[in-house]
Amino acid sequence: MKVKLTESFRIRIMLYTCISLLAAVLVDMAVLLFCIRSRILVSDYGLNEKINLHAHSSNYMINNQIHASTKSMLGESDIFYRIFGVGIKVQLIIVLIILALIIFLMVFFLLTHRVMAYMMNILQGACTMADGDFSHRIDVRYHDEFSSIADSINRMADTVEAMKQKEQEAEETKNELITNVAHDLRTPLTSIIGYIDIVNNMPDLSEKQRSEYLKITWEKARKLEKLINELFSFTKISYGGMPMRMEKIDVIKLLEQEADELYPTFKENELECLLETDADSCMIMADGEQLVRVFDNLLGNAIKYGRYGKMIRIRTLTENTQIQIQIVNYGSVIPAENLPFLFEKFYKVDASRQPSSEGTGLGLAIAKSIVESHGGSISVRSSFEGTVFEVVLPTAGAYQNGVVA
């Protein structure tokens, strides 16, 4: 592409040069023709020859006229010679050369004026961007090589501006993460320190109270551990530090195992879990450990927010190249205006479906990142018929050479 643009520019310059030279030559020829027709180039030798010829002529009147004309021309030539020191022919040659140069420069300037003005516009735009104003854009006016240069500079500015935007977002995320970490870790840590202090400094506590306080401390410690794990996971996923160990997994069996492991939790919250699968088996390419985290999070949310609905459904819909997994709870409806933000980092919802300070708000953001890293998608919808989290994953048959077809 660069070679073609360079050759095109060279051809244009050569064309402008040829046109300018042709204009200069035509003007010089016109001036020369005018001088010849005006008898300015009649030399002294030529005039004397004409005098001699006409002296032998029988027409005395014509001879006198030519002689008078010759004297006039010679007289004019002598005047030019005395002033400039050269003959009229040399003078004419010098004038023609100067005139040709002037015409060449004028025509060449007129032909290249637009190009030079556009080059200055590109240069000014580039200088503006170099000063840090990457919002500035150069007009792409034509379809030539300079327009390609302008477009390339604009695209470079777009890239730099996008990088600056990402850097700014990363800085904001970092500050937000620090703020949320400080708040979320401080709450359970304060409780742990407080209850341990009570147990240590109050020896007259009954065994029942001591046991209760230790239980609360243990629960807070587990919550603290969960928060830290979520923060580490989010950091690894955000910066590509979480390795993927892809292998064939039967997702139906994985869902059955998840439902069995969470049975005590369902029973504790007086919930019934129904697993409704349309196939006995469905193989997918996935990292089993990460996929378990996705369904742990979705089922944990379903238990937390759907405990008053008395039931949780796990449904599957298997197709040739993908499987849809729906986790449905019948708790309170999530307002429509909150749905687009559920998978954003640090967005938190409590049992009343309003923002809350409980948890890090990273669970659904982590789930979304894991699902998308598997080539799938995750979505949510909520109505009086239930709140449905739907995960779509490609089946093993959809992969070709390790890539989703």
Q: Which of 342, 368, 367 minimizes the C-alpha distance to 356?
A: 342
In this prediction, residue 43 carries a pLDDT of 46
Residue 232 has which token pair? 């580490």
* pLDDT tens track for 316-361: 999 888 999 999 999 888 888 888 888 877 666 544 444 344 555 6
pLDDT tier, 84 (very low <50, low <70, confident <90, very high otherwise)? low
pLDDT tier, 400 (very low <50, low <70, confident <90, very high otherwise)? low
In this prediction, residue 313 carries a pLDDT of 92
pLDDT tier, 307 (very low <50, low <70, confident <90, very high otherwise)? confident
Percentage with pLDDT > 90 across the chain: 13
Token look-up 């799938």 returns: 376
**Residue 347, Ramachandran bin (φ over 0: left; ψ between -120 and 50: alpha; else beta):** beta
Is 100:24 a contact under the CB 8 Å cutoff? yes
Decide if pLDDT at 220 tops 90: no
In this prediction, residue 58 carries a pLDDT of 42
pLDDT tier, 140 (very low <50, low <70, confident <90, very high otherwise)? confident
Q: Which of 206, 126, 200, 184 minimizes the C-alpha distance to 345?
A: 184
Question: Pick the residue with more confidence: 1 or 343?
Answer: 343
d(CA 356, CA 347) in angstroms, rounded, equals 8
* pLDDT tens track for 47-62: 444 444 444 444 444 4
In this prediction, residue 200 carries a pLDDT of 85
In this prediction, residue 379 carries a pLDDT of 93
* Range with the poorest average pLDDT among 22-31, 98-107, 288-297, 345-354: 345-354
Give one DSSP letter per residue of 106-150, joined into a string.
HHHHHHHHHHHHHHHHHHHHHHHHHTT-TT------SSSHHHHHH
Give helix 2-37 / helix 145-201 axis angle, nearest 10°: 150
Task: Give the global pTM.
Answer: 0.53
Residues 6+ apart with CB under 8 A from 251: 282, 283, 284, 286, 291, 316, 323, 325, 393
Specify burial of residue 381 (Cβ count, 10 A radius: 0-12, 13-18, 19+).
middle
Residue 54 has which token pair? 């006409």
In this prediction, residue 4 carries a pLDDT of 52
Token look-up 């300079």 returns: 146
- The amino acid sitting at 200 is N
Averaged pLDDT of the chain: 77
Is 122:136 a contact under the CB 8 Å cutoff? no
Q: Determine how many CB atoms are found less than 10 A away from the CB of residue 340.
A: 10
Decide if pLDDT at 229 tops 70: yes
In this prediction, residue 295 carries a pLDDT of 92
* Range with the poorest average pLDDT among 91-105, 146-160, 347-361: 347-361
pLDDT tier, 75 (very low <50, low <70, confident <90, very high otherwise)? very low
In this prediction, residue 56 carries a pLDDT of 46
pLDDT tier, 112 (very low <50, low <70, confident <90, very high otherwise)? confident
Residues 280-289 have a mean pLDDT of 89
* pLDDT tens track for 157-216: 888 888 888 888 777 777 776 776 777 777 788 888 888 888 888 888 888 888 888 888
Question: Pick the residue with more confidence: 358 or 99?
Answer: 99
Q: Is 383 helix (H, G, I), strand (E, B) or coil?
A: strand
Decide if pLDDT at 116 tops 90: no
In this prediction, residue 76 carries a pLDDT of 46
Q: Give the H/E segment covering residue 327.
A: strand 322-329
CA distances from 242 to 91, 111, 235, 248 (A): 87, 61, 9, 19
* pLDDT tens track for 231-265: 777 777 766 656 778 899 999 999 999 999 988 88
